[in-house]
Structure 1
């Protein structure tokens, strides 16, 4: 049995893309080891493949990446392996070096336009360092895939490499019925909005969503997950005295998260046009909303807006300014006929967009590694 070592820098519990990939590889009869990190607040992890969670001394920025990459290199050097699967640019260097040193096949899964993420835009020296690594390695890669056509075209045009597309689609949700007791406990007769995900970071519209609640009545907003601005959101909610309208919860196991998502009346994705990564991203939560059959309100970012418009499953807004968001939501609530149409269309979309269908592309790629 061939062994694949999969590496990622984040907490393994909430990374659904990596878990879906690992589960598919297990179905293909690979021996899978997933390497990531462990945080003080990490949830317990039970998977049908082996996991290694590293406790790191450094938690943030340059020193974290230096420590992680050095320790990952050592682990990759001594663990038995046949294939290496690197997730995102922050794990690519040690994987590439080991693949060359030991003659192992390397697969690269680029979840995003890493060098264009919001956290790097205002840090040109750090951005340049990552870009240097990318320019050195990417043209040499033979097995690459990413999350959508826009990002694939950017990488292909830039580095002359064929880039496959495997979208980050949610697995088919088997039980769509809403837990009535949970719904009554959480929202009662109020409308419920949800913004969820493990990447609730700067410029993703979370602050505007909180401020929006000043202008909405009989409505509750749930923000569930993690990210760079999570503590800021808690302080903002308190300073605006919105504790009765805004509930902020940390990371939840996926199926528990989906129980909240099913109950919600509207799923939010509000990325701003501050960087190319957000412009071309197609966040996990969008497909979670589709599987939960929860209509969407999204900002006008290319890939997300196209998905919503093509399937007629929600609304696209050009400006995420809090008052304008609130006015849009009032219009949505008032137009019950349009809402019902989108709700019905989501039944078709939830059958169309499933990991069970999308994974065939991953299977094909691994059957034909170069």
Structure 2
């Protein structure tokens, strides 16, 4: 075999020269687009990529790209301490038994324990990718015991991380001040896309305007406000694309307000279908409440999905979102939480959209706010860490 490799080095590759990257995330691998993009990026750089995550009941089969291997755990527990403990135990066992790893990538604090332990034992390089300020998410604000546990875990693990990434400058600054760890900023930007409005989608709804929210139906996202606003908007429908913890309560709210014909729950959509729906809408919402530092410093991926779909954005005037929307002039930001006042802003924005006043700014933003550009920062970090060869 060794002689054949000398004679035919192009055709026969030794396992010793394969760079294997193992990307772990606690989310369902079918829906985590950032993991998909990073997996493709690493594959393009010559890595053999393995993605490890969860498979929720009813989740579709998924294939990121030929050659990218997936391992999806079906979990007996779906939330709570036993869920996190069981997931991390399975993840640790997978990483300890995987073959000749070159790089581990841990996405968010809930995979960092297992990944950092395995990396330390096996002497494998570790990259930590924090998608949010985990210990300050709204779900933990009123649960001091759980928040304290996660905070202690973070304080124990983060100072030992050498290569770290997060999604906004504000979060990077906070982590650097708190733990002395430099975080590179790689925003959660989508691939550049051409808007694909679908006439059949618009014809399927008896309204002149379609308003859309895409993302998790969770607490603090301002979805209740969107629903309460609808009675003040004539000839408009609200599409909610996603699933989440408060979906049942939202459906009840819609029924009680007599809005069943004007608020539509689309459920979880495949990325291509979601893009068609968003491109067919007239305006996108990102009205996160200022419920803790995680939301205050958030830079949601849906903001950029709206831009790639060519529709203006109405978002909360939180610092990171405000900088993008006002900097690129692709919509409006607001601190308003009155349904009536918000409906007035929406009406004004829809009129401006009819006049084509957002079009040029959205096109410019779509060209600049895309993964094709942002991924260079990810690669630069890997080169700085010695995980990729430096460009000549």
The two structures share one fold, judged by TM-score above 0.5 = yes
Shift of 1:330: 2.2
| Contact persistence 2:286–2:316 (CA under 8 A) | yes
Q: 1:307 aligns with which of 324, 349, 360?
A: 324
Give the equivalent residue in structure 2 for 1:12. 29
Give the equivalent residue in structure 2 for 1:203. 220
Q: 1:264 aligns with which of 256, 281, 288?
A: 281
Aligned mates of 2:179, 2:196 — CA distance in 1: 46
Give the equivalent residue in structure 1 for 2:79. 60
Shift in alpha-carbon separation, 1:266–1:138, aligned structure 2, 3 A: same
Aligned pairs for 1:140-155 (under 5 A) are: 140-155=160-175
| Contact persistence 2:196–2:275 (CA under 8 A) | no
SS at the partner of 2:120?
A: helix
Unpaired runs of 5+ residues, structure 1, are none
| Contact persistence 1:299–1:320 (CA under 8 A) | no
Which of 1 and 2 has greater Rg?
A: 2
Q: Deviations over 1:243-286 (max 9, x none)?
A: 11000111111111000000110000000111111000000100
Task: Name the TM-score, length of structure 2 as normaliser.
Answer: 0.90
Aligned mates of 2:364, 2:352 — CA distance in 1: 21
Shift of 1:43: 1.8
Q: Tell me whether 1:239 sits opposite 2:247 in the alignment.
A: no
User: What is the RMSD of the two structures over their aligned residues, measured on CA atoms?
Assistant: 1.4
Give the equivalent residue in structure 2 for 1:51. 70
Shift of 1:182: 2.6
Give the equivalent residue in structure 2 for 1:357. 373
Aligned pairs for 1:207-356 (under 5 A) are: 207-335=224-352, 340-356=356-372
| Contact persistence 1:270–1:320 (CA under 8 A) | no
Task: Name the TM-score, length of structure 1 as normaliser.
Answer: 0.96
Q: Deviations over 1:210-263 (max 9, x none)?
A: 121122221000000122222221222122221110001111111110000001
Aligned mates of 1:111, 1:74 — CA distance in 2: 24
Aligned pairs for 1:121-132 (under 5 A) are: 121-132=141-152
Tell me: higher relative CO, structure 1 or 2? Use CA pairs within 8 A at least 6 residues apart. 1
Give the equivalent residue in structure 2 for 1:134. 154
Provide the aligned length of Structure 1 versus Structure 2: 366
Q: Deviations over 1:66-88 (max 9, x none)?
A: 11111111111111222110000
Aligned pairs for 1:85-96 (under 5 A) are: 85-96=105-116
SS at the partner of 1:257?
A: helix
Aligned mates of 1:231, 1:7 — CA distance in 2: 30
| Contact persistence 2:210–2:283 (CA under 8 A) | yes
